[in-house]
Chains A and B, each alone.
Chain A
Amino acid sequence: LVDKCIGSRIHIVMKSDKEIVGTLLGFDDFVNMVLEDVTEFEITPEGRRITKLDQILLNGNNITMLVPGGEGPEV
């Protein structure tokens, strides 16, 4: 299922009230994810955080939910 999302926008919700929106480049058996063009959102304190270009590797340990094609809490 996640395999279908490769190449498209995905929205990741983590255990710690943080959300990450980016383009999915790849993932592995542990659901660590490689994302590109990433924006990071904190839920409670404020809105957006940093827009990180390039690529990130996100550790799968704290991922709660994956939403294909989603946008963050605010644009």
Chain B
Amino acid sequence: MNASSALVTKTKLMGPTEDLVSPVQRMIVKMSLRKQTPSDFLKQIIGRPVVVKLNSGVDYRGVLACLDGYMNIALEQTEEYVNGQLKNKYGDAFIRGNNGNTSLQFYSI
């Protein structure tokens, strides 16, 4: 009984992904998946074309001009997609950050 319980603790301590992966593979994985917080991500995507998706299902595609800590967003050359395409907005579009029932998903194209 003692031997089997010792084995159990050993596998628990090793962590889920480490045992079967060779050191070279592990290095590759670590290089491509750097730890990245949302603020770093946001600094990266400013100036890139993004899609902002609201919880209501509306999509806004445009170039990210700027944004702030409350997730208020300024987009340029925005197009609004509901099911098909509804409005075309050129120039600036402002999207309010937190609405209580709006969540934002941005993805850069």
Secondary structure of the B side of the interface? loop
Give me the interface of B with A, judged by CB distance under 8 Å.
16-17, 29-30, 33-42, 45, 55, 71, 98, 100-109
Which A51-68 residues have C-beta < 8 A from chain B? 52, 54-59, 61-62
Contacting pair A26 B107 (CB below 8 A): no
Query: What is the interface size of chain A, counting residues whose CB is below 8 A from a CB of the partner?
Result: 24
24 A-B residue pairings within 8 Å (CB atoms):
A6-B33, A6-B35, A7-B17, A7-B30, A8-B17, A16-B103, A25-B33, A25-B36, A25-B41, A26-B36, A26-B37, A26-B41, A33-B38, A34-B36, A38-B107, A54-B107, A54-B108, A57-B41, A57-B42, A57-B104, A57-B105, A59-B102, A59-B104, A61-B103
Contacting pair A28 B38 (CB below 8 A): yes
Contacting pair B36 A59 (CB below 8 A): no
Contacting pair B41 A34 (CB below 8 A): yes
